[in-house]
Structure 1
Amino acid sequence: MAFSQFTSEVYIYDAVRTPKGRVRRNGGTLSGVPPYELLAGLLRELTRRGLDPEAVGDTVIGTSTAAGDQGGDIARSAILWAGWPDTTPGGVVSRLCCSGFDAIGGAAARVAGGVEDLVVAGGVESMSRVPMLADTPAFAYDGQLQDRTGFVTIGVSADLTAADHGYTRGELDAYAVTSHQRSLAAPDSPSVIAVQADDKVLLTRDEGARADASIETFGQLPALFADDPSWARVARRLPDSVRPDGGLHTVATAPQLADGACAVVLGSRKAGDLLGLTPRGRILAAVQTAVRSPRLTAALAATGTALSRTGLTPGDLDVIEANESFAVSPLLLTREFDLDPATVNPRGGAVATGHPLGASGGCLLVNALDELEARSAEFGLLAIPGGLGLGAAIVITRN
């Protein structure tokens, strides 16, 4: 398990994101926007909001599928497209669903260690243009590697985890309905920056949330992973495990595919003072961890470590942004840490509005900051499980 506890203060000077655009077969709202433009639009917005690009020491961007339109260092491409200085460096990190967490945590560690005074971190994923597995990873196609490592489809991991912990199909469906309701009720945010193309506004709010979401409607949907062939590997690795009869997660309780980007300005107190920046918060700890596939529980381990490193208890947390990597993920985190459900994803989440993979870490950070500010509250937690047993957590504070 890798973690960073920042003894030197790391300030969040700004955090912005695009709305999340739903991926559709016939072309989603943001499908015509290249990922370098999704990200570049946020870099230009940061400049409009008072950031001096000349002061940025580095730019670190998380991208899960660094191929096609997202290959070849999309961070540097976005910097040049945005008109930032030619001397501004940029690079990409890839840790599947945890990529954005890696970018933010790594950038924070560099600020805390005195390597840089000001770093922009974030993520981008255009799943319309670069679908999952477009980079043909060995774990998805190499049968020998799959058999040795126990790789399974992440939806099978979600179903297995839900069954292990006693969740029913009805509980998962009910959670999804709540996510849709909260997403629809979420207030507009100045941190969510409209996406424009050719002087036309394409999207101002997250897409995907349905006003007609109901337990009855969701209950009629077929399970996605009941007949997935990777259940055979579960049986070999965990012979005592219980395969849920008929499956548990559906398209309603799985994270929606989405396009989006985020950008977070992290820096030292010295940088903020020199540039006249007002902090919105601080990063207290960042954790990356993993469990052996086929479990989908690494976010629990990451959360426990992040809390212990900061000296906080679950009761100290005012807002929790737990990525809805299937409905079981936030439900399990809420139960295991005895969290108040009202504080977990109060603005809805990925089963309603989508999971743009590498951008999700920054999207969760933006949501958490917005909600902490709205509540005049102090501590927030971000948590996410990912493919191949990965997981991550970040603890932030407004003070």
Structure 2
Amino acid sequence: MSRALVFDAIRLPRGRVRRDGGTLATEAPHRLFAQLLSALEQRLPVAEHVDDVVVGISTVTGEQAGNLARAAVQYAGWPEHVGGAVVSRLCCSGLDALATAAAKVVSGQSGVVVAGGVESMSRVPILSDRPAIATDVELGERTGFVTIGVSADATAAAYGFTREQLDAYAAQSHRRAVAAPVSDSVVPVRRGGEILLATDEGARADASAEQFASLPALFGDDPAWERVLRRLPGLEKPESGLHSIATAPQLADGASAVVVASPAAASVALPDCEPVAEIVAATHRAVRSPLLSAPVDAARDALQRAGIGTDDLDVVEANESFAVSPLLLTRELALDPVRVNPVGGALAVGHPLGATGGNLLVSALDSLRRIDGEHALITIPAALGLGSALVLRRLR
């Protein structure tokens, strides 16, 4: 059987979405992803040999519709034979793109694939596509759809996490993000000769659980709780909400790109390059919506398929889709908290939806290099009870 080898993994810095537009609000999503394609060609000349480009996007509407992947390939001036496709699994879209690339390579459908994701939440806000799950009452009732913030509160209540635990975790995320080393895997965003953004925005050195405890809860009075309790009749609604703006992921713009190739294709396309990692397993699972616990099941499945246990994990990147997500994964898999999100996460520096899967792979690989580790687990939850997981093995 062939293997899905990773030869490079890069991302853009995450730019915060602000009311005044934010640092990256001037950049259309195709430009964001095209900048990574141009950077890849400088770092690892491979465009001539790429069979396909697979891009994860959560909100596929407006400027993010119309096969952005192919448009970005052409905008970047890559060869005309290079195709492009978009995959969308809500917040899991970026991991889905990586899983798709790995599957294409392992199956022999493609030799070299660039996979990643992009999301300009400044220009294409979440739910701006007005999906039926959010606008059709009957469909919403059948699927259990509620906004992911209400899902996060319901999950925290179902598993017994307190407001204090959530606030403490968020403060830790900021501290770790502030202390994170600079990485050459982060490509500055440029406009002409000007650098618009070189590092992630959002992390606060002064963040504390005490500060966060004073913030109002966001979802305690949300009328969607009525649907939650109909779907999960045994759940006891907390007296007040559990997550605040501090324990919710910051909205962000960003993009990520990963070069995945089979050994045979790499011998031709990249004869002088050694792979840096290997995607050894990728899984998708679902649970009854609106719970966000599917990444736990997906992670167990991915570890089993990879043939390793939790003790073999050197790094875990559990997307901070809300504070409950990494806390739940850590507890249910009995993970070492020190190894979970060692450089912080979305609570501090943002969750640009479709780009996040690739962002987490970049962070995982950087962390593995720093500690000379071998295996990393990456997980992301999404609305409608979805969850994805990926196991990465570092080779050098």
1-structure distance, mates of 2:73, 2:231? 46
The number of residues matched between the two structures is 393
The residue type paired with residue 264 of structure 1 is V
CA contact (8 A) 2:310 2:333 kept: yes
Encode CA deviations 1:186-223: one digit per residue, 9 max, x unaligned: 01101000001121101111111111211111011010
The residue type paired with residue 160 of structure 1 is A
Displacement of 1:185 in angstroms is: 0.5
Encode CA deviations 1:3-62: one digit per residue, 9 max, x unaligned: xxxx42110000000000000011100000111111000000000012221100000000
Is structure 2 residue 11 aligned with structure 1 residue 17?
A: yes
Encode CA deviations 1:332-391: one digit per residue, 9 max, x unaligned: 111111111110000000010000000000000000000101111100000010011110
* SS of aligned partner of 1:105: helix
Q: Tell me which of 149, 167, 172 is aligned to 1:173.
A: 167
The residue type paired with residue 290 of structure 1 is A
2-structure distance, mates of 1:231, 1:82? 46
Partner of 1:159: 153
Q: Tell me which of 206, 213, 237 is aligned to 2:231.
A: 237
Partner of 1:349: 345
Is structure 2 residue 134 aligned with structure 1 residue 143?
A: no
The residue type paired with residue 97 of structure 1 is C
Partner of 1:55: 49
Q: Tell me which of 288, 310, 323 is aligned to 1:314.
A: 310
Is structure 2 residue 282 aligned with structure 1 residue 286?
A: yes
Q: Tell me which of 179, 182, 191 is aligned to 1:197.
A: 191
2-structure distance, mates of 1:119, 1:93? 14
Q: Tell me which of 323, 345, 348 is aligned to 1:327.
A: 323
TM-score by length of 2: 0.98
TM-score by length of 1: 0.97
Encode CA deviations 1:156-211: one digit per residue, 9 max, x unaligned: 11111111211110110000000000001001101000001121101111111111
Q: Tell me which of 364, 382, 386 is aligned to 1:386.
A: 382
2-structure distance, mates of 1:137, 1:386? 15
Deviates more, 1:232-241 or 1:122-131: 232-241
Percent identity reads 58
Matches within 5 A, 1:236-255: 236-255=230-249
2-structure distance, mates of 1:361, 1:25? 26
2-structure distance, mates of 1:166, 1:93? 34
Displacement of 1:239 in angstroms is: 2.0
Alignment RMSD, CA only? 0.9
Partner of 1:31: 25
Is structure 2 residue 126 aligned with structure 1 residue 132?
A: yes
The residue type paired with residue 358 of structure 1 is G
2-structure distance, mates of 1:37, 1:254? 28
Can you give the 5+ residue segments of structure 2 that lack an aligned partner in the other structure?
none
Partner of 1:377: 373
The residue type paired with residue 115 of structure 1 is Q
1-structure distance, mates of 2:126, 2:353? 9
* SS of aligned partner of 1:262: strand
Displacement of 1:273 in angstroms is: 2.2
2-structure distance, mates of 1:57, 1:294? 38
Is structure 2 residue 295 aligned with structure 1 residue 299?
A: yes
Matches within 5 A, 1:102-141: 102-141=96-135
* SS of aligned partner of 1:318: strand
